[in-house]
Structure formats: C-alpha cells, structure tokens
Amino acid sequence: MADTSHRFYDMHAHGFVRVATSTPCVRTGDVAYNTKGVISEAKRAHQCKVDLLVYPELCLSSYAIDDLHLQNALLDRVEQAVSEVIEASADLTPVLVVGAPLRRNSKLYNCALVIAGGELLGVIPKSYLPNYREFYEKRYFAHGRNCQDLWIAVAGEEVPFGTDQVFAASNLPGFTFGVEICEDFWSPNPPGTLAALAGAHILCNLSASPITIGRAEDRHLHCRSSSSRSICAYVYSASGHGESTTDLAWDGQGVVYEMGGLLAESVRFDLSPELCIVDIDTDKIAGERMRNQTFSDAAEAHDRPEDSFRRIVFEHAYKEGDIGLMRPVRRFPFVPDNAKTLDEDCYEAFNIQVDALMRRIQATKPESLVLGISGGLDSTHALIVAAKACDRLGLPRTTIRGYTMPGFGTSDTTRSNAWKLMEAMGITAEEIDIKPAAKLMLDDINHPFAGGEPHYDVTFENVQAGLRTDYLFRLAGHHNGFVIGTGDLSELALGWCTYGVGDHMSHYGVNSGVPKTLIRYLIRWTIETGQFSDACCEVLQAVYDTVISPELVPAGEDGEMQSTESMIGPYELNDFFLHHTIRYGQRPGKVAFLAYHAWREASAGLWPAGFPEHRKNEYDLGEIARWLESFLKRFFTFSQFKRSAMPNGPKVSSGGALSPRGDWRAPSDSVADVWLEELRTSLPDGTLPSD
C-alpha cells in the first residue's frame, strides 16, 4: 500500500480547486428555514472537502416572493441570517457564495455574498435586472452596474461592495474567482467577462431562472460559451424545489464547465438538497490564458481590468493531503468516451485526412500514389485514406501502388494481411523482398550480421527501414507519383522513426497529426460505418487485432515477435503524456498525478465505447513514472531534429500537432533536465528505480 501522505497525492499541489453547486432546502419567504438549509449544505460540503460552494440567487430570502422583497421585516431578518451564516462558516472549509437582498443608501440590491472562515469578504450586486415576460426585478431592485470601489455595512461590518471584485486565496495561487448573478450572463456584455480579464480563473453564477421547455439547454449554451470565451471555469447554480410555484416552476440545475467542456451536472427536479461537486484545474486555465494572446489583447483593449478591480485576498483553510480527485480524467485524451462524440470525431479526423490528401493530389497531379504496406496499423490507415481520396476524386484505385517489402523480421501474419488488404482494396500491388539488398549493404559496411552473427542493433534495423523508403522514393519517381507517409503523431513524439528514411520521410504525411490510439479507432470506425467492402473490413479487423511491432528483428526461439511497446512504453500512456505536455504544457509531476488517477484501476472510470475488455489495462505509479521518464527523455532530448525536418501533413486534433510550421516549435539541441528534475522532485521517494 502506497504512503499517500506525500504532497504528490494532494490535488491542491497540482492546481486543482474543488467546487460545488448547492441546491439547498428552501421554503418560500421563510428566512429561518432557508438559512438552516444553507448552513446544512455548507457543513455537508465541508465533509466533502469542497473549496468553493455556490448557492442559488436570493437563496436566503427566496427569489419568487415579489413585493415581499420590499418588506423591512423580511430584510431585517435576512441581515440576521447573514450573521448566522458568517458565524457558521468559521469552522468550515468551503468559501460560500450566497444570495441575499441587501439595502444600501435607501436602495435594495440583489446580491451575492462571499463568506469564508467566519468573515464576509465582499458583496457583489446584480448588474442586469430582467424586466420582461415573467420578470419584474426593476420593481424591487437597483442595478449594480456602476457600483465600483464602494463599501456596504452588513452584520455590523463595512465590507467591499461592487462589481469590481476578484477574490483570491493567498495560499492557493490558482484559486481566484469572480461572481455574476443570473441575468448578468444572459446580457450581451456579461460582467463576469471583465472579472475573468481581471484575473478570475473561476466565475460563479447565482441564479434563480425558472424552468421552461428548452431553458436548461440555453443555460448550458451560456455556461459553455462563457467558460470557453473567457478561458475559465464556470459554476452555475439555479433555484430548485421550495421556491414559489404561483406562476413558475424550478428545476435546481447546477452545472460546472471548464474552458468549454462540461465537467459535472446536478440531477434536476430533485426534492432533496443536492451538491454537484467537481475539481477544477486552475493551473490548466492559467496556462491556456498564457498561450492565448487574444485573451491578453482583450484585457488591454478593456483598459486592463486587473488594475481597477479590487483583489480581495484571503487565506483559504483547505483540506491538505490525499482527498482524491473528483474529476473525469480521460484515459485516451484523443479518443472520446462518449459513443456519439467518438463517432463525430472519427468522421472529422478521417475526412480531414482525406480532404488534405485530395488537395495535394489536385495540386501535384501525380500519375500514382506510392505506399509501403506492412500489414500494420499505420500503413493500413494511410491506405484507406488514399483509397477514399481516389474514390472522391473519381480516380481508379489502381492509381495507388502498394508495395509490401518483407525483411528479416516480417511475420507471415502481417505479410498475409498486407496482401489481402491490397487485393481487397483493388490497388496495384507488388512485393519487393528487401533481404538481398539489406544483406549486401550490411556486408558493405562490415556489419557483424553479414558474418553470421545474430547482431540485431539499430544499424541492422535502420538498414531495412532505409531500404524500404529508398525503394518507395525511387518507385515514385519511376511511376511519376509521390510517396504517402505512414508515420503517426505518437512516433514523431517519441522519435520512433529513422531520420530521413523509414516512417520519418515521405512526400506527404497523412498520418502525422493522428496519434496511435486514435488510428486504432479510426480503423475500427471505417469497419463499423461500412466505408469499404465486407472483404476489406474483414482484413481491417485482422490488422486492428495485430500486436504493434516494427518487425525489424527476427522472432525469438519462442516465436515471440519484436514488440514496440515493450521498448518505448505503451502507446496509451505515451499518448496521454503527449497530450498533456504539448496541449497544456503541464508539469511532469502533474502529468503523473493525472495518469495515476486515470490508469490506476481498470474497473474505475469510463472507457471509450466498445473498448475490448482484454485491452483494459491498469498501471501503478511506478510504471507510470518509469514510462513518463522515458517519454520526457525521448521527447525533449533527442527527437526534435526529426520533427524539425518532417514533411507536410494535416493537423487533425485540437490536442496539437508537431510540425514546426504549426503547433510545435522547439530547438533540436535542447535537454530534458528541467522536466526530469521536476518529475523526480514531485514524486514520492523510491517511485523511480534510480531514486
């Protein structure tokens, strides 16, 4: 059993903040009852180690009470309730964002109160008051749009009042948030946007929002849009059962989005109080803003809100140690878990590749398309992309010239699959045995293998890879065509390709933006959607089931074939590392933390739709750390020079590509020391063998 007391296991150390929406028990206009419900949910959130708890709009008084908002007895009781909540918060972990009507200077405001550790930190008034259809808020409330740099007396204290506030935890750098209220984010210019530009990583929305058909989806639209546009997390909490149903109804919807992606959603129309809890990655949000210069430009264009907003700093009493990670972490970042999304992604990925190749064919007008067909995943996928491109352009599939080139390690299975595939596709198919030429070259360079020794080093492998590519380029010239590359994104990341030859070089690399884990699913998708004939699909299934191998070394005495993943690590882990490294620039220690929660238990969490049971692997922290260390060495130290000279090829995934003309630019002579050191210092002692 691992000692989880180490800081590595604390999600806060990796920039996570636990947030929750609350739908408390409320009763129309019953302030005492409502206060009890608010405090009860705060205590429950405390037990769940929540850092930030967002309640519905006007939850202390109730929202749908019309002219009762203007009754002094009720407003006096609300102020007393605020004191009770403040007092109750003294020994609780969560920062509470509570809704209440408050008076200031003979005006009544619809407010959000930020309470933490027995203190009222600030009050934010609602900026936009709906006064159309079923809404009459201007009858009761004053708007807060112009309230900046003001103070308000509440519960015997003067606290900041206004829309110009961002709240920040002094001891958790990423924990910064701003607040807007219901209608504010329905407006064309939501005030939360300015709070985000001022530095808030999380936006909270206290909402009442009566439910009508289609409104729940509208809320999703606005939350997703706000979180995407403002590069933030968006925490939305709407009123539920207990509000007045005189003319309206309430569903208690709570949703949490992060940078456009839905993380969590509450059960709607629930009679019981509910907490919708999830962990927000504020570190990822900060990193994305740093990369996105449009965000910085927008802040400058709006007179740098960070200079005018008040930054309300507090010390957060968060729960230290291993509190788990309440957040979906996809095992396969390039492969969605949801079946519908997976189908859409495969459709787009496949058609991006096909369309890109079609444009290259139209531009160069080749007489042939030359492909090396090994019977493995990558060359198979490149072939089906080429076949579909020919079909759409009205070219005969015989335009594709496929060559299987068996070497010293080629298995009967892959050679047979290569021939079956080429024949089923109806392309021009030939075979060139490269062993005689390879023996000649090995003899010319005085390699031990030429003298009869079983010496299978990198040179032995590269002679075969180089000859295959050399043949393909000469064949392309001979048949007035161009070579379609088969190398994929994962191999480029790891440098698992022979420079200038092998999978590294081609005239056009259709797979260069597609990781290995997605290629497997794309092949499966072409089978399930009937992109090709039944005969083709039968061979494609056989390729899908084949173990990944370069097949450059003869099989051992036990018949075991050379395994790529035993040498460079499981592609499912390497693709995980790659995504979090190039897309978000995450620290290696955090990548290890995420991988640990994604992969440590095969029976937990979601798998992509239809994922084979026998392929459902799990890895402990030691295995994850070992392969991550290997990935860092390969990616940062000795693979970049290959990427700096890679052929053209389409970017496919928003997760990134490695072309120096696209997503990734890096020096070829860098070292991995910074990343390796960060990994070692982040992990518990003894995790890596050399510790």
pLDDT digits (tens, 9 = 90+) for 523-534: 999 999 999 999
Residue pLDDT, tens place only, 411-434:
888 899 999 999 999 999 999 999
- Whether residue 583 is annotated as binding a ligand: the answer is no
For residue 561, pLDDT over 70 is answered with no
- Nearest-CA neighbor of 130 among 186, 179, 178? 186
163-177, 238-252, 446-460: which has the highest mean pLDDT? 163-177
Side-chain-facing half-sphere of 33: CA atoms under 13 Å: 9
Q: Token pair of 582, please?
A: 């190039």
Say what the pLDDT of residue 551 is: 67
Average pLDDT over residues 555-575: 79
Q: Is 117 helix (H, G, I), strand (E, B) or coil?
A: coil
- Whether residue 351 is annotated as binding a ligand: the answer is no
What is the spatial distance between Cα 361 and Cα 386, in angstroms, rounded to a whole number? 10
Average pLDDT over residues 111-125: 98
- Whether residue 676 is annotated as binding a ligand: the answer is no
Secondary element (H or E) of residue 430: strand 428-431
Instruction: Quickly list H helices, 29-174.
Output: 31-47, 72-88
Quick one: 615 exposed, middle or buried, by C-beta within 10 A (0-12, 13-18, 19+)? exposed
- Nearest-CA neighbor of 87 among 61, 123, 120? 120
For residue 522, pLDDT over 60 is answered with yes
- Whether residue 378 is annotated as binding a ligand: the answer is yes
- Whether residue 377 is annotated as binding a ligand: the answer is yes
What is the spatial distance between Cα 507 and Cα 481, in angstroms, rounded to a whole number? 9
- Whether residue 644 is annotated as binding a ligand: the answer is no
For residue 460, pLDDT over 80 is answered with yes
- Nearest-CA neighbor of 56 among 21, 28, 88, 29? 21
DSSP letters along 145-207, please? TT--SEEEEETTEEEEESS-EEEEETTSTT-EEEEEEGGGGGSSS-HHHHHHHTT-SEEEEEE
Catalytic residue among 182, 232, 536, 537: 182
Q: At what angle do helices 673-682 and 588-599 cross, to 10 degrees?
A: 50
Q: What are phi and psi of 234, to 5 degrees?
A: -125, 120
What is the spatial distance between Cα 293 and Cα 442, in angstroms, rounded to a whole number? 53
- Whether residue 642 is annotated as binding a ligand: the answer is yes
Say what the pLDDT of residue 558 is: 57
Catalytic residue among 41, 57, 243, 629: 57
For residue 560, pLDDT over 80 is answered with no
Say what the pLDDT of residue 555 is: 67
What average pLDDT does the chain have?
Answer: 94
> Which of the four pLDDT bands, split at 50, 70 and 90, describes residue 562?
low
> Which of the four pLDDT bands, split at 50, 70 and 90, describes residue 563?
confident
- Whether residue 485 is annotated as binding a ligand: the answer is no
Q: Token pair of 322, please?
A: 């291993």
Look up 182 and say whether it is catalytic. yes
> Which of the four pLDDT bands, split at 50, 70 and 90, describes residue 566?
confident
Compute CA 620 distance to the chain's CA centroid, rounded to the nearest angstrom.
Answer: 22
Average pLDDT over residues 544-555: 72
CA Rg value for the chain: 30
The answer to whether residues 141 and 101 touch, using CB atoms and an 8 Å cutoff, is yes
> Which of the four pLDDT bands, split at 50, 70 and 90, describes residue 565?
confident
Cβ atoms within 10 Å, residue 4: 13
User: What is the number of residues in the chain?
Assistant: 691
Say what the pLDDT of residue 612 is: 86
b or e along 623-658 (b: 16 or more beta carbons within 10 Å of the residue's beta carbon)? bbbbbbbbbbbbbbbebbebbeebbbbbbbbebbbb
Look up 57 and say whether it is catalytic. yes
Say what the pLDDT of residue 656 is: 85
For residue 610, pLDDT over 90 is answered with no
**Residue carrying structure tokens 């972990």:** 93
Residue pLDDT, tens place only, 65-89:
999 999 999 999 999 999 999 999 9
For residue 500, pLDDT over 90 is answered with no
- Whether residue 374 is annotated as binding a ligand: the answer is yes
Q: What residue type is 465 in one-letter code?
A: A
Contacts 24+ apart (CB under 8 A), 446-450: none
**Residue carrying structure tokens 């026998």:** 614
Quick one: 7 exposed, middle or buried, by C-beta within 10 A (0-12, 13-18, 19+)? middle
The answer to whether residues 155 and 148 touch, using CB atoms and an 8 Å cutoff, is no
Say what the pLDDT of residue 549 is: 64
> Which of the four pLDDT bands, split at 50, 70 and 90, describes residue 654?
confident
Residue pLDDT, tens place only, 155-191:
889 999 999 999 999 999 999 999 999 999 999 999 9
Average pLDDT over residues 365-374: 96
**Residue carrying structure tokens 């058609």:** 351
What is the spatial distance between Cα 571 and Cα 565, in angstroms, rounded to a whole number? 7
- Whether residue 132 is annotated as binding a ligand: the answer is yes
Quick one: 677 exposed, middle or buried, by C-beta within 10 A (0-12, 13-18, 19+)? exposed
Contacts of 556 (CB under 8 A, 6+ apart): none
Catalytic residue among 36, 126, 284, 651: 126
**Residue carrying structure tokens 């759409």:** 392
Residue pLDDT, tens place only, 567-596:
899 999 999 999 999 999 999 999 999 999
Share of the chain above pLDDT 70, in %: 97
What is the spatial distance between Cα 628 and Cα 576, in angstroms, rounded to a whole number? 10
- Whether residue 499 is annotated as binding a ligand: the answer is yes
Q: Token pair of 208, please?
A: 């009442």
Q: How far apart are the first and last CA of the chain?
A: 19
What is the spatial distance between Cα 591 and Cα 682, in angstroms, rounded to a whole number? 11
The answer to whether residues 33 and 25 touch, using CB atoms and an 8 Å cutoff, is yes
- Whether residue 587 is annotated as binding a ligand: the answer is no
Average pLDDT over residues 476-484: 98
Q: Is 658 helix (H, G, I), strand (E, B) or coil?
A: coil
- Whether residue 292 is annotated as binding a ligand: the answer is no
Say what the pLDDT of residue 663 is: 85
- Whether residue 630 is annotated as binding a ligand: the answer is no
Cα–Cα–Cα angle for 463, 466, 472, rounded to 5 degrees: 140
For residue 63, pLDDT over 60 is answered with yes
Say what the pLDDT of residue 674 is: 97
Average pLDDT over residues 501-507: 89
Average pLDDT over residues 327-332: 95
